Chain A
Amino acid sequence: MDFTFSEDQLLFQESVRDFLVNEVTPEKIRESWESETGRSPELWAQLAELGLTGITVPEALGGLGMSALDFVLLAQECGYVALPEPLVHTALVAVPLLTDIGGELAAQWLPKIASGEARVVVGLSQNLLVEDAHTADLILLQQGDDIHALTPGQFNLRHNESVDPSRKLYAVEATASNIVCSDVAVITACLNRGALGNAAQALGLAQRMVDLAVQYTSERNQFGKPIGSFQAVKHHMANVAVQLEYAKAPVHRAAYAVANDLNSASENVSHAKVVACEAANLAAKNCIQVHGAMGYTWEVDLHIFMKKAWALANSWGDAGFHKNRINDFILRADTPLGAGNTFLN
């Protein structure tokens, strides 16, 4: 039993954090909102250079061959900076799905993802819309029980604006058919990875909002002292800290279950998704409150993180979907509940 990350994993997290915090500043994010695609080819090239676009691509196909467990801490960091680029989608969703499908398709696309030449995105039936379809060189689209692989020219896009200007969402209408997978287990695993990605980002987003609010309330004075010294303000923040602290281990447990293909992966992911997104939603609620009117403005950076948190809470399965999965699990007559069962599957 060793529920810790390795030195290497922690060092990797640190170096990626340093990179992201420097490169993906709120100013840069605001700039991206003004650009045509909302995406930065330069940043994507840098991420590829660091090996990140291919982090989960098998080594034989030009990637780093790492797992969801290696990536989960990095996904948290992507959340911390509210990275607009679809790195989490690529590493946790698109690449593993292509790897599961295998064959020619994987051999063709995975090296290009690793090198940064190609962007591939996935749309499952569980997703209302497809993220980042506008810059995709390949869309893996679920229709019924099948996954189709579609290239530009084989689909039409309808843009839907999100409350989070960084999110680029599209209704995708296929104009061709190209079934590459009909395996329910593969599709479920893919959905789990997407939800895990949201959960991990939610942890980072919550932490970022807490950091912003602590800083703001330490500097803003009312009644002759910092508002952060008022107990009501402190307790708002402490409540977030408690929920956030207890959402981390479930996310790490889910990443382990996904990486090791455990039977419990679906329940673990749903648990992680619910608690991490709730922590981020509470962070949003309490952090805007302690900012006063400043928090309600476009100018203050808080909303960059708050809006992403709201969006992630209901994508890759909303709370109802994930709660129902856990509910089915705990109410099943043969599920061993109680002490001593947490790690037994």
Chain B
Amino acid sequence: MDLNYTEQQNAFRQEVKTWLAANAPAQPLQSFDTAEGFQQHRDWEAKLNEGRWGMVTWPEELGGRACDLIEWLIFEEEYYRARAPLRVNQNGIFLLGPTLMEYGTEEQKARILPKMANGEEVWSQGWSEPNAGSDMAAIRAKAELQGDKYIINGQKTWSTRAVWADWCFGMFRTDPDSERHRGLTFILVPLNTPGITVRPIPQLDGLPGFAEIFFDNVEVSVDNRLGGEGEGWAVAMATAGFERGLMLRSPARFQETARRLVELYRENQASADADPSIKNAVLRAYMDAESYCLTTYQTACRINKGGKIGAESSTNKIFWSELDQAMHATAMSILGARAELLPHAPDAAGVGTWLDGWLFAQSGPIYAGTNEIQRNIIAERMLGMPR
């Protein structure tokens, strides 16, 4: 065990820091759940990609730097410290990207990954349907193979950023007689294909952060199938693994929230201490964010040495989503009567972005497989309890 960064790792950190200091936007971009903000974030992705910082773990020929997971964590630390923009294409680069590298053909990788990397093609996910939420195996939207095309009919919902995205990846039932996990196929669909209707759904903050997608005889080339026909479940499980895993929710994000929370507490200590539970909650936030970081580093080091992530990765999603909720709840308590005020309200001095974060934190325990479903998985697969 050696908990020092190597010289190479320190140099890498310095390089990230220097580039971000020179290139990260000085002012926060608009929300990517607006048309203008979406474009701003797309442009930012292009800039990151030009600097070869779009996806540092990708191979060099795809514009990456072939970084290992420790370098990835370092990159994320500097990225969050620099308050650089959220990643509008995260469903592409963090979820579909790694899945493509595992299951995609050479042709697919060459066609899809470069445009994903430079923000030219932004991706949304299409798993959920009105009657297939937690029970994803109940998917009914169907794709029928006719010649070299799939004809898709049905509906997807809750598809994040689909309002302005260019593509959607998801699962469709290709065998009409199949049930549950069988007969599903993973297909990539350009959202400008005739027959597709995207209907925005306003989220808690009022902005259309996700959408319903209706498919009416939508024709998609068979070249857009990822993995074999009927093998969609296995491919999707890989994607879901990346979503729950450390790619999407690196510790830096929560450590920065914890740091801001300590600052908020310090600035408001006199009033905050009127509620004795707040001090403990701040402490808790710091400790849990550190625990999350330490555990992630330990996992990353194990993977670097050839280890695999096991069922214990289901604990990850519960831990970060509940930590995020708790930290924002604490911030709301510290802000007291100001907590409900929108940031632009005239008397909302010092509320920062906590309310936005609080709203978004409500969704963490729901998306990417609800925390109840994760608890079922932990009990059955990690602890071996009876089904």
Residues of A in contact with B (beta carbons under 8 Å apart): 1-6, 69, 210, 214, 217-218, 225-226, 228-229, 231, 233-235, 237-239, 241-242, 245-250, 252-253, 256, 271, 274-275, 323, 326-327, 330-331, 337-343
Contacts and interface: CB of A to CB of B under 8 A. Distances in A.
Given A2-B1, A226-B386, A250-B290, A339 B298 contact: no
Contacts of A330: 262, 282-283, 286
Interface in B1-25: 1-6, 9, 13
A243 to B, nearest CB: 9
A249 to B, nearest CB: 4
B320 to A, nearest CB: 10
A254 to B, nearest CB: 10
B318 interface: yes
A229 B379 CA distance: 9
A3 B283 contact: no
B295 A237 contact: no
B295 A249 contact: yes
Contact of A1 (B2, B280, B387): B2
B77 A340 contact: yes
A340 B300 CA distance: 15
A245 B290 CA distance: 13
Interface residues of B, number: 60
Contacts of A237: 378-379, 383, 385
A253 B301 contact: no
Interface of B: 1-6, 9, 13, 70, 74, 76-78, 80-81, 251-253, 255-256, 258-259, 262, 266, 279-280, 282-283, 286-288, 290-295, 297-298, 300-302, 305, 312, 315, 318-319, 372, 374-376, 378-380, 382-387
A271 B256 CA distance: 18
B80 A339 contact: yes
Contact of B70 (A1, A242, A247, A274): A1
A3 B297 contact: yes
Contact of A248 (B70, B251, B295, B374): B295
A1 B297 contact: yes
Contacts of A217: 385
Contact of B382 (A228, A241, A337): A241
A304 B372 CA distance: 31
Contacts of A341: 255
B259 A337 contact: yes
B386 A228 contact: yes
Contact of B287 (A5, A69, A241, A326): A326
